[in-house]
Structure 1
Amino acid sequence: MQQSLLHRYLLPIATTGLFLVAFVPILFLSYYNHPSAADDYCFADTAVRYGFWQAQQYYYDGWTGRYFSNFLAHGTPLVWGWYAGFKFIPALLAIGWLLAAYTLLGEWLARLEAPTATRRRTQLYLTGLLFFLYILILPNLAEAFIWTASAVVYTVPSALMMYWGAVLLRWQGQQPGTLRTLTGIWASVLVFLIVGCGETHMLLIISLLLAILVFRFVQNRKVDKQLLVQLGVALVSGWLVFRAPGNAIRMQGGATNGDLVGGMVQSLRWLAMTLPRWFIQTPILPLSALWVMIGAGLFHKQTTVNERVSRLFRVPLWYGLLVLFVLLLATVFPSYYATQNLTNRAINVTYAVFLWGWLFILTSQLSRFARFGTTTPPLWLLALTVLWLGVSMVRSLPMRHLYADLLRGDAAQYDRELTARQQLFSQSQADTLRVAPLSVYPTSLFMEDIRTDPTHWWNKCQAGYYGHKVIIIDPSIRPASTRP
């Protein structure tokens, strides 16, 4: 009776509610989004001034070798003259993240060979719960879903990597033929795109491929040629990133400029301090216990556990934990190695890897718990989970900022002021424009603004994009649009 109540009512209501709590505000926030003064206008101005393809070469030679993220950044709605298009970007990023997660989870759960109906429900529950946990303590929501210049380097490749994982699993399970060949080519294209977004995901995907290759070699006593092809594509793509003249120029601006030992020490220290906090600040521990018990019920009782567990989940616990730590290190190390500074947008990726890695490790251990034959969580565990969830949500800074920006009207005010400013920039024929500073800086939306210094890059990029000589913030001017 308790198990029936849990699966029919508590799980659907709880997971749907938690998902909506995190997702719906992002949809509303998306409506108030505007291009950021930081980089968004610089990419657009370069593309409009020199042309789309010439802009790619300009950045590849003069600033960074991130060829695919540059491709996306130079094709934003600003380049098309569609200013309002930025209002769709956060929603599309969030939906893309969810679809990629749902697809990957579908391939994972298919390896457990549970009944289709049960698998689909579990797929939905886990997708919503993962997204909620991701938003719960996300270091910076704006850098993940709002700021386009950041999203194309970090959020887009994160979603692509989830999707690539699903394609890779599908490819390895297909029979030889045209479809399998095309799927393999598509997986290689995805690797090329992921690596081209930035160094963080480049090191992440190479580390993951190496970890899988080593495990498969030990398990089967032969090299997995499919994975070797993927690794080769990743290495060649990484070479394209590092050989870029712009990459050397960008590295010269770093504080350490390639300090291998110092970067590794700082990365290890940061992980040692941060990982325990993530287990405390989120309800991952009680939710993990629930998944171990409920997930074990995915196995058919009529069949032995060993027959039902795919090779995907026959990873020893010690090896899974080791690989997860290496992958986390791979997301942290590039920042410390190059600049001695770990940005929130890089931590966004680290936290996502932590969530996925932890879920995989738990899933790989389900067969152990299925043997015990009990898959109904006790009431005390359900109560503890609810309590931990409540405390985590109350203490969640991203949630508090997200709802505060919407309910206090800061997001709407921010939207009115930037809309008025954009209209002024578009319609005025003056060479020099002075505008009021913003009256609000909503944490969930705001990244950077133009400065009082007309020679600052943010000022020069906006002035160039709109065809003015000088655009400047004048503190003596009141905001163009005030609260109603």
Structure 2
Amino acid sequence: MKHPLLDRLATITVVLLFLLAYVPLVLLSFHNHPSPADDYCFADTTLRYGFWQAQKYYYDGWTGRYFSNMLVHGSPLVWGWYDGYRFIPVLVVTALLLALYGLVNELIRTESLKTRLIATATLFFLFILAMQSTVEAFFWMAAIATYTVPTILTLCLLRVISRWYQLPSGPIKPLTVVWASFLVFAGIGSGETNLILLLLLLLAIAGYRLLFLRTFDPFLAWLVVVAFVSAWLLFRAPGNAIRMGGNPHSGELITSMVSSFGWLGRWLATWLVKTPILPLSVLFLPIARRLVRSGSAVRELFMLPAGLVTLVYIGILAATIFPSYYGIGIPPFARTMNVLFIFFALGWFYVLTVWVGWFERRGKMSTAQIGSVALLAVAGVWIAGSIWFSLSIKQLYKDWLSGNAATFDREMTERHERLTQPADTLRLGPISVYPPSLFIEDIKPEQKHWWNRCHSGYYHHKVIILDSTLTASTLR
């Protein structure tokens, strides 16, 4: 954008959009608490049986997610640091932002620092704008470990792979191999969604270099081996069979594939309309043209068969949905959709750049310029409309500005203090507000419910009951 005033206006707008998304997450982070759903169960299991025995217990009895199991069984509750949960969301949000910047910085390293920062801030805003569930992305540790953490690891891995071919010879290369291997091992061991995504990405990159460039790449070949071994470790877990056995519609291959593509088509159309990705794509075209022009240091990253890349892109997105249908026979949860949108948006701009390169090489790229003022006006209106219809943005600000998050924080703190007091049977009143940005589910009126038993075990009570006739501050 050549006009200095318009350029300054665009920069200020991006900064404001980034703050619009980032600030409420940081502020709400310090109202966060351990979730009665699962968090106490992981902690109680570790304290009862020990850290490594807890891993075996879940691996054999419920899930093969060996790395995310390690994270949740080493939570702040295990160390008696109840307030540690107040720092988890802001750390995870910031880690996602830094991982995103690392990848963007590598892919468009020929652009100015300002452009790289603007691109990162814009993508982050898009992610938060389109999120189906912020609580499952940043506030609920069980979902963080299984979905957000492996997403961060995948972004880091893509940066490492992109950077690998520019590394000088020396000790840095073998150390990078170790680091990349860990990222694959940990990412796949965190959950099936990122397992499929990572495995297919590695196979696609390695397959392209082997079949199209006639190059056997030992680095990628090794990562593929690590990925298959890691996937085997996850799928061989006895707990997976137990978990899938409880779902009568799991294991239906053809139905799951058809459902995955159908679900993807529906959401692609939704995102193209309800997010400003289309006007932002038009604004991105000048950057894309610079990335693929002759002499660009990153040109080779985008000089790929455009049609093939598009098919692989759609296939990987559909495959990300597939585990939900195949494993439990239902559409993906909101936490899966969070991950799906992140890679949809990143892949969208990557595929767009590949197509720009394809048109440029054939001299079919128009040199006509859309008026900057008109384009910014359209983008501004579209962004404003997207914010208005964004459930995640509105919910974050509603929970914060209404005081619901503060009330929830105060009452949960009071509940924790009462739970630390000795008693055989403890009756607790429900919390008066449950902010959707912060909370999944509470303990139940049934004293034998799993979450109640985990609570009573962790706090050394015989029975804990949620009594709806009591207030949040009542204990008897």
Q: TM-score, normalised by structure 1?
A: 0.93
Aligned to 1:29: 28
Segment of structure 1 superposing worse, 68-77 or 378-387: 378-387
**Structure 2 residue corresponding to 1:129, chosen from 113, 122, 131:** 122
Segment of structure 1 superposing worse, 361-370 or 387-396: 361-370
Distance 2:152 2:392 in 1: 20
Shift of 1:375: 6.7
Asked if the contact 1:67–1:197 (Cα under 8 Å) also holds between the matched residues in 2, the reply is yes
Shift of 1:320: 2.1
Question: Residue by residue, what CA displacement relative to the aligned partner does 1:45-79 show, whole Å, maximum 9, x if unpaired?
Answer: 00111111111111111111100000000011100
Structure 1 position 357 matched with structure 2 position 347: yes
Distance 1:328 1:82 in 2: 38
Aligned to 1:330: 319
Structure 1 position 422 matched with structure 2 position 416: yes
The letter for the 2-side match of 1:253 is: G
Distance 2:344 2:265 in 1: 13
Segment of structure 1 superposing worse, 347-356 or 253-262: 253-262
Aligned to 1:256: 249
| 3-state SS in 2 of match to 1:78 | coil
Runs of at least 5 residues in structure 1 that lack an aligned partner in the other structure: none
Segment of structure 1 superposing worse, 232-241 or 345-354: 345-354
Asked if the contact 2:139–2:438 (Cα under 8 Å) also holds between the matched residues in 1, the reply is yes
Matches for 1:55-204 after TM superposition, within 5 Å:
55-110=54-109, 113-114=110-111, 118=112, 120-204=113-197
Aligned to 2:406: 412
Shift of 1:150: 0.5
Matches for 1:286-435 after TM superposition, within 5 Å:
286-297=279-290, 305=294, 308-341=297-330, 342-367=332-357, 368=359, 378-426=372-420, 428-435=421-428
Distance 1:294 1:324 in 2: 21
Aligned to 2:234: 241
Question: Residue by residue, what CA displacement relative to the aligned partner does 1:424-443 show, whole Å, maximum 9, x if unpaired?
Answer: 001x2111000101211111
Q: How many residues align?
A: 469
Asked if the contact 1:294–1:375 (Cα under 8 Å) also holds between the matched residues in 2, the reply is no
Shift of 1:178: 1.7
Asked if the contact 1:293–1:376 (Cα under 8 Å) also holds between the matched residues in 2, the reply is no
Distance 2:298 2:354 in 1: 9
Aligned to 2:211: 218
Shift of 1:306: 5.5
Shift of 1:81: 0.2
Give the alignment's Cα RMSD to 1 decimal: 1.8
Shift of 1:308: 4.6
Question: Residue by residue, what CA displacement relative to the aligned partner does 1:367-424 show, whole Å, maximum 9, x if unpaired?
Answer: 4469755677532111100000001101111111110011111111111111111000
Distance 1:316 1:380 in 2: 33
Asked if the contact 1:283–1:392 (Cα under 8 Å) also holds between the matched residues in 2, the reply is yes
Aligned to 2:51: 52
Aligned to 2:6: 6
The letter for the 1-side match of 2:62 is: W
Aligned to 1:439: 432
